[in-house]
């Protein structure tokens, strides 16, 4: 039987204009801020997290494994699994779907999932 999945917290960064106030912030920094906010709101501690799954569309020039960068930027341990998803516009949603599936089948208990992008960069 599949386990129930619950969303424990949510966060997002403000929406900016193209070339605006957030133009110089790379996507991993924006993702890290969202992770920090979601964890603060949910009360989930970093040591409870099994994996971070994050989606991104325009990953060229961002370095390796965006999910790992977001995770470390949020202050999470480098021992937590991190998976990046590139499925164009559906990347963030696919990350959430993969997280839910991992919980349903018992591979993980707590997963941070989402997406990050900076279209100005």
pLDDT digits (tens, 9 = 90+) for 36-80: 999 999 999 999 999 999 999 999 999 999 999 999 999 999 999
What's the average model confidence in pLDDT over 99-121? 96
88 inside domain: yes
Q: Give CA separation, 83 vs 1, 18, 21, 39, 91, in Å.
A: 25, 28, 28, 18, 12
Question: Over pLDDT 70: what percentage of the chain?
Answer: 100
HEC states along 48-107?
A: HCCEEEEECCCCCCCCCCHHHHHHHHCCCCCCCEEEEECECECHHHHHHHHHHHHHHCCC
Q: Rounded to whole angstroms, how far apart are CA atoms 63 and 112?
A: 20
User: Which domain range does residue 38 map to?
Assistant: 27-115
Residue-wise pLDDT for 9-38, tens only, equals 999 998 889 999 999 999 999 999 999 999
pLDDT at position 6 is 96
54 inside domain: yes
31 inside domain: yes
120 inside domain: no
Confidence of residue 90 (pLDDT cuts 50, 70, 90): very high
Q: What is the CATH number of the domain that holds 85?
A: 3.40.47.10
21 inside domain: no
Confidence of residue 121 (pLDDT cuts 50, 70, 90): confident
Res. 3: pLDDT tops 90: yes
Strand partners, 83: 53
16 inside domain: no
10 inside domain: no
95 inside domain: yes
- Whole-model pTM: value is 0.94
Q: Considering its fold, how many domains does the chain have in total?
A: 1
Angle, helix 27-42 to helix 66-73, in steps of 10 degrees: 50
Question: Over pLDDT 90: what percentage of the chain?
Answer: 91
> Which residues 6+ apart lie within 8 Å of 98 measured at CB?
53, 83, 85, 113
Q: Give CA separation, 96 vs 17, 85, 103, in Å.
A: 26, 10, 11
């Amino acid at each position: 039987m599949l386990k129930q999945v619950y969303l424990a917290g949510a966060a997002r960064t403000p929406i900016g204009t193209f070339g605006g106030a957030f133009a110089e912030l790379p996507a991993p920094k924006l993702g890290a801020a969202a992770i920090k906010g979601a964890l603060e709101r949910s009360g989930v501690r970093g040591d409870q997290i099994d994996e971070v799954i994050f989606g991104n569309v325009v990953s060229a020039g961002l370095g390796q494994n965006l999910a790992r960068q977001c995770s470390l930027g949020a202050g999470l341990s480098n021992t937590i699994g991190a998976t990046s998803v590139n499925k164009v516009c559906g990347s963030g949603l696919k990350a959430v779907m993969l997280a839910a599936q991992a919980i349903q089948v018992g591979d993980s208990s707590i997963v941070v999932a989402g997406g990050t992008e900076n279209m100005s960069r």
